[in-house]
Structures are given as structure tokens and as C-alpha cells.
Chains A and B, each alone.
Chain A
Amino acid sequence: MAQRYQNRIELLQGTLDLLILQTLQWGAQHGYGISQAIRANSGDILQVDTGSLYPALHRLERQKWISADWKLSENKQRVRVYRLTATGKKQLLSERSRWEQLSDAIAGVLSPAKREGQA
């Protein structure tokens, strides 16, 4: 069972980290909020599994790209809130540019004619 979750973490790892960091760029957020934001911003296409989300959050926290605090939510509920750190911001920039390179490259492979035309 654990195996199943771990496989999916690995599958999503690069992108999920990017999505989490990007989401936190707009402000501190708790785990549930992050998953909701990713879902809404992707037009309900990306649904983040909790078995992937929380391990990713705790890993990013250990890497010191995000930090966590306990806060009270609007409903007066104690929630653990994550925010981007300075190194996290740098990481986000490099992950973004890497992602853009990757998607450009993939786009180029998928439609080579267009790319040659540009060149």
C-alpha cells in the first residue's frame, strides 16, 4: 500500500514541488488550501493526492525551501501554515525556468516544423 503512494510521489515529484512553491508565492497557506488552490488553478484537472502532498510538504520543509507555523484559521481552527522562504523563492525561479525549458523542448519535439520556421 505504501508502495503505491511512493510511486506516485516519484512520478509527480518535480512538478508537484514546483506547483507547491508556485502556490505559496501568493501567500502562506495550509495543506488543504494548497491542494484546493492547485485544483482550482488547473481548472479541476490536477488533483493532488494527500499521500503525495504531505510527504512533499515535509520534504520541502526539511530542505528549508518552505517553513511552517501553527496559526488559527478563520473558523478558529488550529492549522499548520506553510510559507515560502528566501531559498525557496530562488528554488522556485530555477524550477520555473527549468520547467519552461522542458516544456519548450517538449513542444519543439512535438511540432518540429514550427520550431524550424521560427529559426
Chain B
Amino acid sequence: MKFLWHRKSKQQELQQELQSHLQMAADDKVSQGESADEAERSARREFGNVALVQQVTRDQWGTRWLEEFLQDLHYAARVLRKSPGFTLIAVLTLALGIGANTALFSVVNGVLLNPLPYPNPDQLVTLHASKPNFETGSISFPDFRDWRKDNRTFSAMAISRSFGFSLTGRGEPERVQAKLISSDYFSLLGVQPVIGRTFASGEDEIGAAPTVMISAGLWRRKFGSSPDALGKTLTLDGHDHAIIGVFPANFDLFLRTAGLADVYVPIGQWSNSALPQRGAGLGIHGIGRLKPGVTIEQARADMQRVTQGLAAAYPDTNKGIGATIIPLKQEMVGQVQPILLVLLGAVGFVLLIACVNVANLMLARSTARAREFAIRTALGAGHTRLIRQLLTESLLIAIAGGVIGLLLAGWSTQAALRVLPSGLPRAQQVGIDTHVLLFTTLISLLAGILFGLAPALKTSDANLHGTLKEGGRGSSAARHGAQSVLVLAEMALAVVLLIGAGLMIRTLSRLWDVNPGFTARNVLTFGVSLPPAMMKAPPDAIRAALRDVHSTLGAAPGVQAIALSWGGLPMDSEDDSLFWLASEPKPASQNDMKWSLSYVVEPDYLNVMQIPLRRGRFFSPGDNEHAPAVAVVDDVFARTYLPNVDPIGQRLYLANFDSQQVEIVGVVGHVKQWGLDTDDTQQLRAQIYTPYMQLPDKPMALSPFGTDVVVRTTGPPAPVFESLQRASNQMSSQQVIFGPQTMEEIISASLAARRFSLILLGFFAALALVLSSVGIFGVISYLVGQQTQEIGIRIALGARGWDVLQLVLSHSAKMAALGVLVGLVGSLALTRLMAKMLYGVSPSDPLTFFAVAAILTLVALAASYVPARRAMRVDPIVALRYE
């Protein structure tokens, strides 16, 4: 405002300045004897064109473009104010398009583009042990310590493993999520404690004094956020851990697990007797920070040297074991990247459709304004000036749309993130920042130019003579072409989006039809950890306690069948087992052994899960610690490892269970451990079941810390958990049961990412459908309006309503057919990009393509039916009187 005012006064000053020049020149001439009149005239003559001098002087201020821009802006605002209906529809259409794009971009920006919130995030990598057929295996604790000691390319290395503790002694006993970590974990990431300190080196050794870091949430809940908490103890699984520090709220490296960990405990405190074993696979994975300037290739070469050294030193356990190094960010977001990019592409199409719709509106309007532009041209406005004027108008609309879109996005992103599956990594880093603002500004301006340019070029091209001569009707014929092309483009884009959504629907319905190998309905899973007193009990006492749990919980109301389970749980957690057949010699190293998924279960497991028994028998209560050890395998195991022989009666040795020898007594159906979609393509699919009560003493000693339970309920499973909790509390108030999940929830969660993309794609496709049918409606209405006289004449000459309807509908049918055709061809090229998200349908699925083509054609015809009806009712007398 100040600038404008300043400019105005500057112009007045210039005028005064030139005026005083004229005055002085005239005065001089008067003093030389000329008459006043004559003096003024000759002064003016000598001076030249005052207005022109003013203008060329003003040009020196360097603000001419601004002046014209302000003029255009002023004019554009006035024009838009004069047609509020048009302005409102155009702005809202764009706001939808820009808002959807901004929202999705803010997700892409937060998840994929922004650096991780740690110092020098590019140095961070994840570490795994690689086996010949498994890239991202667990690192053993002794291997980790050698890796850390022997490498030359890392400034720090750390490991972690998810865990759960029973927290007792501070109010009700409860289960807390935990991470077992090595000392460097926090300092490597650069995460500072809220109070206290992080772990010191050596505190992670086996036998070190027990310590713990707690979350800000737990600190508040249990200690009222008082600094006194430092130095106090937390009783985890019956052991007192000294609290040394509090870590920030919401800290979690991977947001993959169900909840955030509340406590971090040094891994040396783990009471698993396998921890010091070099060959143990205990679900431990690592992170590392590369030294400055070290590339990932150099680190890989370095680690190859380290692991080869270990393989030479410990051939029995380490032969063939390498290290896999993946950039941390890639590991975190690599899985969602293709989905997000496909969605971003889809939402870009929505914006294109919105632009096309607004361009169409503007074209329709430009007919009415053709005379206005013709007159302006006649008065000397240049081509570029007219285009600039029109572009200013569209930019004004686009910017208004952008502002509203930004508000829509800010609100809807937060809403969407709340209902989003927890599967989206880095979700808490999604928000509106400068990148997002920049993006929104950019797409708003681009959209403005995109939908403004076509009508602007068209209009400024308009033939001056023709328009002025033609009167109010404008050069309509030329404009139909442009409008039809726009609608065609819009339909083609809608086809692509609808096919994308259609393919996702087909994928999900295919996945729901996949038989997981068990019956998920009415199955509840949860965890039990025995009272801390049991955690050091001898194996027989533990077995007795577990039998007690089985019978007490099994008698709870609503429970039909119950089985304790240790190790793997379908689609939720997995455990593996190395073995060799008794018919072959013992392999030289673990690496040469065979590999299978392992399930340690009670006899009723088969009834609870309703897995079909193929041959032989499943376990009975008689298969206990006193009976000969037995096992049951699935049909994949039988096919893979025991082809051409009867599996029943075969014997094998289980390496993880102290090389226990077991006899196969039955074969059951395969269960899709890895989820409905990817199970078929996994390496590790063979499954082996062993009876819980025959679990060797060492692993049995771990089961009080937490064992899974599966229950088949008589009715809906969720409410049964309460009666189970009551039953558990009656056994011991120190016993914790936790983490209830229905099997249906677990399956549903495994499809969450796909469902999420289906919802979004479906929403975008619906938006596209609505926008393009509005577009068709608009164009056909416009055409009918233009052809009123022609239709009137036809009716006067004897055409019937049906003929008129045909005339109008055939035009829109032609447009629809072409648009659909172009869309189908485009889809053939584009849907290949989403092949990774599909299951059981080809990206060029004929059914989807055909259905979408049919739907869109019908919608196009329906949208043109209303204007067509209007055409049928044209009264020839009224229509002709217009002439």
C-alpha cells in the first residue's frame, strides 16, 4: 500500500516538475517580449509531447512492468467480482486439486525427502548378518563385538532387539515394550537424554550392573516427571535396574512395531543363555555411523574383510556369513516409496483434471467476452498484453485456490494421519514446512498458467472482424473444438485413475480370498509373562506353571480351545530352526544345515487355528517331557526336504534345541507365515511343529518371560480378553497378560498399506469422476445453448424429440468414446508402474479395463442427459424469434 501511495505522489511530482519547466520557459519568452499566449504556445512546442516525456521519464524508474501488472490485477479482480458464481466454482475446484496435492506432497516430503532428524543423517546405516539365501539376518552378540572392534570405516556401531518386560513394584504390574541395546545406541544417533545420561561403554557387557533408560512418558506416569527418578530402580522381570536417564518422548528409530518402547536396557542383561553363542540367531539387528567421508561401498568392502576374518577363525558358525549394510533412510522408507510415488502421480492427475475443468469454464466464458477483447484489440491493446491480462485473471484464481487448498491440506493431512495404519514410517515428521509451501505455490502458479494459457491464446487469436460482426454469438464453432478436446483429456485422465483404483480393489478382494492356511475367525492371541518369582525357577516348575496357565485360562468363559505357543505366530512373528535329517551325516557347519520355520505349540493348537491335518497325527497331551520327542511338519516341508519318501517315521536333529532328535508323526497344511501376498515368493517356507512340553530346558527357561497364547472363542473374540484377564489375576497378581490381538486384526494389519492406498486412489478416482462428469455436463449444456436455433429449426421441420435426443447424445457419446480410448491406452502404459502393489491381477486386467470403460461412458451419457432433455423441449417459436 505504501508503495502504491509513494508511486502516485511521485507521478504528481513529475507532473509538477515538467509544469514548472514549461512555466519558466514561457516566463523567459515573455521577458524577451513575446505575448503571454504566444510564449506559452512556443514553450509547449519546444517542449514536445508532455505526456510522452512523462512516460519515458517514468520508464527510468524501472517499474513499468509493475505498473501494468497492477493495472491487470485491478482489472482481473473487478472481472472476477462481477461473476461470483464462476469464480467460486473455479476457486473451489482448484482448491480441491491443490489441496489433495499439497496433502500428499507433505507426506512425501516428510517421509521420503526430509533428512532423518539426527545429526549427519547420511552417515547412518543399518547392519544385518547375511546368509547365502537371506540378506538381512540376525547378528549374534559375539559377532557384533568383533565387528565393532575390527572395522575401520565406522565411527560407531550399535545393536538393538525388541523385547517386553513385566514391570512390577510400581502400581499394577504391567507389560512394558522394551529395546535391548548396546551402549552406543543413543550416542551413535546423537539423541540426547532429557535428564540423566545415556549408557556408558561397558555397561552392555554380560554381567554388568543392571541399568535402564526410561521414556519421557513412563517418567511422567510413574515418577511425575520428577528428577528424583534418577538413581531409583525399576523392577523388570524381577530384577532391579538403576534408572540412569530419560529419553525424549516419541523417540523410536523404526516406527514399525505396534508401540513405542518405554524402556531401553543394555543387551547384556538379557537372561537368554544363547546370547554369548556365536551361532545364535536371536533377532538382533544393528545400526552404524560411517566415519566422515567414508562411502557405503568402502564400508561394505571393509566389513567383507572383517566377516571373512571371522569365517576363517570360526568356520563352524561363521562360514558364509557376511554383513549387509543399507542406508538407514532407505531401510526405513524403502517399502512405502513406490506406493507414495504412485499416489503422488495419481493426485497429480486429479489436479490436471481440475485445471482442465477450470480451463473449460474459462473457454465458455471467453465466448461471452470475445467482444470485450475484440474492442480492446481495436483500441490498441497488443497480443501479449491481452494474454497477460487473461493470465493475471487465472493466476488470481489459482492463488485463491492455492490458499484454500493449503488450509484443506493442513487439516486433512492431520485427520488422515490419525486414521492411518501405524505402518507409515516417520509419520510424525509429516507437516507443512517451507518445502510444502514452496510446492503449493509452485503448483498453484503452474496450474494458473496451465488452465489460463489455452483460453488466453484462443481468445487473443480471435478474429477481430468476425467477432465484431457476428454480434453476441462469438465464433462459437472454433471454441467447441477446444472444449471438446479438454473434456476428452479429462475423461482420459479419469479413466487412468479409475483403473488404478479398480486394480487395487481387485487386488484386495483377491487377497481376502487367499486362504491363509488357518481359520482366523474367532481366534484371539495375547502374551503371558509368569510372576517374576518363576523367572529363575527350574524347568519342571515352569512346566507345571504353564500347565496351570493352560487349564485356568482355558476354563475362562467364552474360551472354546486354548494353546500356548512359543516362537513363531503366523503373520505376526517368526522363529526359525536349523536341522539335519537323521539319514544324512551331521553337517560340518551350521551354514550347511537345512532351515525351517519353527512353531513350539500345545496339542490343541491345530484345533484353535483349524489347520488341516494331512497325514498321521498331531500332538497329544502324552507327548510330554517324559515321552520320546516328536515333531509335525507342513506339506511344504515334506515336499522340499522329504520328496519321494513317507515323511511319517523320518527322524531329524534340531540344532537350536541342543541337537535334540525328533521323529515326524504327522503332516499338516501350510500356513502363510509371511502374509497373504508374499508368502509364495519367500525363501523360508518349510514349517516344523514341536510340542511345548518337550522344549529343551534352556529355551524352556525363557518362556516365563513371555509366551504367546492362542485361543478359539465361542463368540466374538475381543470381549473374551477381559474374562481371561480376570482369570489370570486370580492366579497371581504378579502375572501379566498383554497385547490382545484378534487373528483377523493381524491379517487386516498386514493389508493396511494396500488398503490405505486403495482408499486414497478410490477417493482420487471418485473426485476425477465427479469433475469430469461436471465437465461433460458443462460442455453439452453449452452446446445445446448454442444450437437452440438449429434445434428449433429441426423441430419446426418435423424432427421429433427422440431425434433431438439422439443428436445431442451422439455428440457426447463420441467424446466419451474417444476419451475412454485414450485413457485405456494411457492406462496400459501407466498401470505397469503399480505392478508392485498388485496381487493376483495383471496391470492390464481386462475385466477392470472393460468395467471402467463402461462406467465412464455411462456417466458421460448420464451427465449429458439433462441438457439433452432441455434440447428436446425447445419451443421452435421461441427459438426462432431470437433471430
Contacts and interface: CB of A to CB of B under 8 A. Distances in A.
Interface of A: 1-2, 5-6, 9, 30-33, 36, 49-51, 54-55, 57-59, 62, 70, 73, 75, 77-80
Contacts of B17: 31, 54, 79-80
A92 to B, nearest CB: 20
In the A-B complex, the 9 residue pairs with the closest CB atoms: A58-B60, A54-B57, A80-B17, A32-B24, A32-B21, A59-B60, A79-B20, A55-B60, A55-B57
A7 to B, nearest CB: 11
Contacts of B20: 30, 32, 73, 77-80
A51 B52 contact: yes
B49 interface: yes
Contacts of B750: none
Given A49-B48, A58-B60, A73 B21 contact: no
Interface string B1-28: 0000000000001101110110111011
B55 interface: yes
Contacts of A33: 24
A75 B27 contact: yes
Nearest to A59: B60
Contact of A54 (B23, B27, B53, B62): B53
A58 B48 contact: no
B53 A51 contact: yes
Contact of A51 (B23, B25, B56, B61): B56
B215 to A, nearest CB: 62
Most buried by A among B21, B48, B56, B59: B56
Contacts of B411: none
B48 A31 contact: no
B68 to A, nearest CB: 14
B47 interface: yes
A4 to B, nearest CB: 9
Contact of B24 (A1, A5, A70, A73): A73
A50 B24 CA distance: 13
Contacts of B52: 1-2, 5, 51
B47 A50 contact: yes
Given A1-B52, A2-B55, A80-B16, A50 B60 contact: no
Nearest to B22: A32
A30 B850 CA distance: 82
Chain B interface, DSSP helix/strand/loop, else mixed: helix
Contacts of B28: 36
A77 B21 CA distance: 10
14 contacts: A2-B55, A5-B52, A5-B53, A32-B25, A50-B18, A50-B47, A51-B56, A54-B53, A57-B57, A62-B61, A62-B62, A79-B20, A80-B13, A80-B16
B62 A50 contact: no
B24 A77 contact: yes
A9 B60 CA distance: 11
Contacts of A79: 17, 20, 24
B177 to A, nearest CB: 68
Contacts of B14: 54, 58
Contacts of B21: 30-32, 50
A77 B24 CA distance: 9
A58 B61 CA distance: 7
Interface string B39-66: 0000000011100110111011110000
Nearest to B55: A2
Nearest to A70: B13
Contacts of A9: 56
Nearest to A75: B27
A63 to B, nearest CB: 10
Which range contains the number of B residues in contact with the other chain?
Answer: 20 to 34
A6 B60 CA distance: 11
Given A55-B60, A58-B14, A62-B62, 5 more contacts: A2-B56, A51-B48, A70-B13, A78-B16, A79-B20
A51 to B, nearest CB: 5
A58 B24 contact: no
Contacts of A73: 20, 24
Contacts of A57: 57
Nearest to A4: B52
B38 to A, nearest CB: 18
A30 B24 CA distance: 10
B53 A50 contact: yes
Contact of B56 (A6, A62, A78): A6
A58 B60 CA distance: 6
A82 to B, nearest CB: 10
Contacts of A50: 18, 21, 47-48, 53
A36 B61 CA distance: 25
Contacts of B59: 55
Interface string B604-648: 000000000000000000000000000000000000000000000
B24 A55 contact: no
A58 B49 contact: no
Contacts of B47: 50
Contacts of A51: 48-49, 52-53, 56
Given A77-B20, A78-B20, A58 B57 contact: yes
A1 B61 CA distance: 19
Contacts of B62: 62
A62 B10 CA distance: 13
A77 B48 CA distance: 22
Most buried by B among A9, A30, A49, A80: A80
A113 B55 CA distance: 49
Contacts of B18: 50, 54
Interface in B118-166: none
A75 B55 CA distance: 28
Contacts of A1: 49, 52
Most buried by A among B13, B23, B24, B49: B24
Contacts of A36: 28
Given A32-B21, A77-B20, A62 B60 contact: yes
A77 B16 CA distance: 11
Most buried by B among A31, A36, A54, A70: A54
A54 B62 CA distance: 14
Contacts of A78: 16, 20
Nearest to A58: B60
A49 B25 CA distance: 13
Contacts of A70: 13
A118 to B, nearest CB: 42
A109 to B, nearest CB: 34
A58 B600 CA distance: 92
A23 to B, nearest CB: 15
A32 B21 CA distance: 5
A69 B55 CA distance: 21
Contacts of B25: 32
Contacts of B23: 77
A115 to B, nearest CB: 39
B56 A5 contact: yes
Contacts of B57: 54-55, 57-58
Nearest to A54: B57
Nearest to A3: B56
A36 B20 CA distance: 14
A73 B25 CA distance: 13
Contacts of B55: 2
A62 B16 CA distance: 19
B774 to A, nearest CB: 47
Interface in B801-824: none
A84 B556 CA distance: 101
A49 B55 CA distance: 15
Nearest to B18: A54
Nearest to B17: A80
Given A1-B49, A32-B25, A62-B61, A55 B16 contact: no
Nearest to A79: B20
A1 B14 CA distance: 20
Interface string B658-672: 000000000000000
Contacts of A30: 20-21, 24
A54 B25 CA distance: 15
